[in-house]
Amino acid sequence: VDHDQPLFKLLDEVQHHVKNPTKGDGVVYWMRMQDMRINDNTALSLASEHAQKAGLPLLVLFILSPQDYVAHDRSARRVDFTLRNLKSMQESLSPLNIPLCTFLHTPRTTLPERVIALLSQWNATHLFANIEHEVDELRRDIKVCQLAKKGEKVQCAFVHDKCIIPPGVVKTKEGRAYTVFSPFFRAWLPHLEDKPDPLAYRPAPQANNESIRSHDTYGKLFSMPVPEVVEGFELAKDDAEQMRTCWAAGEDIAKEMLRRFLYTKSRSSQMGEVDPLAEGAKEAEKNPAKDSRIGKYNVARDKVNADTTSRLSPYLAAGVISARECIRATVVLYGNKNGKVDASRETGIGRWVQEVAWRDFYTHIVANFPRVSMGRPFLEKFADVKWETNEEHLQAWKDGRTGVPIVDAAMRQANTMGWMHNRVRMVTAMYLVKDLMIDWRLGEKYFMETLIDGDLASNNGGWQWSASTGVDPAPYFRIFNPYTQSQKADPTGEYIRHYVPELSQVRGDGP
Ligand code: FAD
């Protein structure tokens, strides 16, 4: 098996073999866990456009697949967030007369057959979906295309959407994928200018409402409920409440989070368990380019005792907002008259654009080198490292009981809030791998099981960076000192005192 064969290219080949169907009753957009929005959604826009042209009703399909969640170590928080966003989507789609049909399916191995059976039941002509770059998902979609081709009734279109610039577009002179971030970013940046107007990306309301709602097959789909829970992924009551407070669902919330980041100031002591939108309604700063969170991002982003970053990762990971829209809004606000932003590391705006580009970079890596998502280090020379197996140490790390204050505070932030600041993700990851000498894959798994923003590509990229096994990694001999990291990231000790109550009486006024 060639573990470096980019499967998304295979998917491209398979889908083009299906004959163009002419007769049928509907068009289906298959929504997945990574594209839960109506605005700026490539597959949904294409499906809507096609349905309009063909005069056919559009249906949105979502399949809950618990066995996939187990296989991908999905956190119950992420599954709960999915259900909450589904409800929000249903509310937005209903006035457009577009039904959202949610099904639960096991076993995961027969999911392609289930999709084809539904398409056949609905006599659909077309299936549109955004590509998911994980290996299992690509294999599943290839199978769907093959089955569709056999039946010769449905045309499948799997399209790129997750990244701002799709994998395969940004290449070295030799036609290869970049494996170092800086040259990748330089080649990536000029493509930003090709992006069309976001308004072109909204599905149109369904015409002929009455007949769709009274249609024998489709009418009843409008009243299909979104399940409250998925068995095996239930949240404890207080955790569910906490997640709802910290991470409310829906596109409007994600947009408001973006607005808050682009226009408003960071508060110095905002530890996160409070609703991050509480301050969102504040007036925009007089000089947002300098004073807003994004304006100060280059200097303040590493401070963990303040609310300095966008906190958009749960929304970007679930696709509740697109990364394209984040960058477009930034360019509209801060770009020059040619629509360009200063992308240098010296400005807050440029630095943020770079961070968002890391998300593309790591997804391109998973797309081009699938082995990294199959538990392999990118640098194969590190495949045979003998890791420590010390259950007690691993558990102490997970629980935030290592005795190293910044590590414990960060792990407790993850355990209570389902999210962690980037700087302490690196500190805790390095501590597990290079101080406790525990296999990075165990840390990668725990983050996925705990965080609400778990994203295979970014998580794997972050862990392999910290473990020095990945693309463009920290050199293996670079080991963060958690105490000096702590002095820089949390100079007054406020973050530590907040999350580690045992230390709440310890004074620390910083340097
Ligand atoms: P901001 O600083 O406001 O950045 C904006 C967006 O850019 C983020 O929401 C994210 O989508 C993207 N981004 C920023 N930094 C990175 C980065 N280093 N790599 C990839 N994308 C980035 N991010 C996830 O979204 N999901 C994960 O599962 C995840 N696991 C990580 C594990 C480790 C060990 C490390 C070191 C990093 C991980 N990251 C992950 C990246 C990063 O820590 C988070 O994206 C960031 O902390 C989210 O906070 P924010 O939305 O306020 O980010």
pLDDT of residue 17: 59
HSE-up of residue 488 (Cα within 13 Å, Cβ side): 12
pTM recorded for the entire structure: 0.95
**Distance from residue 82's CA to the centre of ligand 1 (Å):** 19
Nearest-angstrom CA–CA distance, 155 and 262? 41
Using DSSP's 3-state secondary structure scheme, residue 374 falls into: helix
Closest Cα to residue 56, out of 242, 165, 174, 217?
217
The string of DSSP letters for 363-421 reads: HHHHHH-GGGGGT--SSGGGTT---B--HHHHHHHHHT-SS-HHHHHHHHHHHHHS---
**CA-closest residue to ligand 1 atom 9:** 313
> Is 462's C-beta closer than 6 angstroms to any atom of ligand 1?
yes
Q: Which residue's C-alpha comes closest to atom 21 of ligand 1?
A: 359
- Which residue minimizes the CA distance to atom 46 of ligand 1? 422
| Ligand 1 touching residue 458 (CB < 6 A) | yes
pLDDT of residue 223: 77
0.90 surpassed by complex ipTM: yes
CB 229 within 8 A of CB 64: no
pLDDT at 281: 45
Any atom of ligand 1 within 6 Å of the Cβ of 426: yes
Tell me, using a 6 A CB cutoff, whether residue 312 lines ligand 1: yes
CA distances from 33 to 74, 83, 128, 248, 305 (A): 11, 10, 15, 16, 31
- Tell me if residue 327 falls in helix, strand or coil: helix
Alpha-carbon distance of 327 to 333, in angstroms, equals: 10
The tokens describing 246, both together, are: 């910290």
Reference 116, options 87, 160, 149, 161; nearest CA is 149
pLDDT tens, position by position, for the chain (511 residues)? 455 667 888 888 888 655 556 678 899 999 999 999 999 999 999 999 989 888 899 999 999 999 999 999 999 999 999 999 999 999 999 989 999 999 999 999 999 999 999 999 999 999 999 999 999 999 999 999 999 988 888 999 999 999 999 999 999 999 999 999 999 999 999 888 766 555 556 787 776 555 667 776 777 788 789 999 999 999 999 999 999 999 999 999 999 999 999 988 776 555 555 555 555 445 566 677 778 899 999 999 999 988 899 999 999 999 999 999 999 999 888 887 777 888 888 889 999 999 999 999 999 999 999 999 899 999 999 999 999 999 999 999 999 999 999 999 999 999 999 999 999 999 999 999 999 999 999 999 999 999 999 999 999 999 999 999 999 888 889 999 999 999 999 999 999 999 999 999 988 665 5
Contact (Cβ atoms closer than 8 angstroms) between residue 490 and residue 421: no
Task: Give the pairing type, strands 100-104 and 58-64.
Answer: parallel
